[in-house]
Amino acid sequence: MPKVTEEHRQARRTQIAQAALRCFARAGFQQTSMADIIAESGLSAGAIYGHYKNKEELVELAVSAVLDSRFSDVAEAGRRDPLPAPGEMVRLLVHGLQEQIGDLGLLLQIWGQVPVNPRLAQLAVRVGGRIRTLFVDYLTAWHRQQPGVTPEQAVARAEEDASLYTGLVQGYVTQTTLFADFDQEAYLAAVDRLAGAMR
């Protein structure tokens, strides 16, 4: 029997995860069954369960994979010289999420399960912590560039500001999902102005 490579396993896991995300976007997280995901993927039940034990594990790992790639993009942007403005970092993150997930309502569905699903609650804590750390690291570098700011002040300001920027990302996702007339570009322009005022 030929050996299955890690690349093949990862490609299959990605195929299954993408099928699951399409199902969740179409029918909702609660209404989607593993049978729906199996049918959407075009694979056998054995192939699915060989990679994921259940729907909760599938959504956890699928969302983690999506966010990992976005975090890498933002972390890399935070090492550029010159640094992008804080508003640009928010823009990079939310546009990347839209490209990869398509329907940001998926994130809102998952957040809605957090109070009643301990596994997804743990995922939310991990993801939220990573987003906050990402912004702390970036904002520390950003504040260090401002005239008259000491390294200690830069760290303190970054710690204070990181939750705000995390909330701006969450606000974009929420309003995009809930309000048909939400003006995404106006929101991001306001984020740019806010970042400018915080210099």
Which of 44-58, 128-142, 165-179, 185-199 shows the lowest mean pLDDT across its residues?
Answer: 185-199
**pLDDT per residue over 31-41, tens digit each?**
889 999 999 99
User: Structural domain boundaries of the chain?
Assistant: 1-52, 62-197
C-alpha–C-alpha distance, residues 190 and 199, integer Å: 15
Q: Are 120 and 113 in contact (CB under 8 A)?
A: yes
What value, to the nearest 5°, has the Cα angle with vertex 184 and ends 100 and 198? 105
Question: Token pair for residue 150?
Answer: 């000491």
N- to C-terminal Cα separation, the chain: 62
Q: DSSP characters for 4-30?
A: PPHHHHHHHHHHHHHHHHHHHHHH-TT
User: How do residues 19-35 score in pLDDT, each as one tens digit?
Assistant: 888 888 788 878 889 99
* Cβ-based burial of 8 (10 A; exposed 0-12, middle 13-18, buried ≥19): exposed
- The answer to whether domain 1-52 has CATH 1.10.10.60 is yes
Residue 8 pLDDT > 70, yes or no?
A: yes
CA dist., res. 85 & res. 25, Å (int)? 32
Please provide the average confidence, as pLDDT, over all residues in the chain. Answer: 84
Q: What is the pLDDT of residues 105-147, one digit of tens each?
A: 888 887 887 888 887 788 888 888 888 888 899 899 988 888 8
Task: For the beta carbon of residue 172, count every other beta carbon within 10 angstroms.
Answer: 23
Q: Is the pLDDT of residue 70 over 60?
A: yes
Residue with the larger pLDDT of the pair 53 and 180: 180
pLDDT at 175: 95
For the 62-197 domain, the top CATH level (class) is: mainly alpha
**What is the per-residue pLDDT across 37-55, written as a single tens digit (0 to 9) for each?**
999 999 999 988 888 888 8
Percent of the chain with pLDDT over 90: 22
The whole model's pTM is what? 0.77
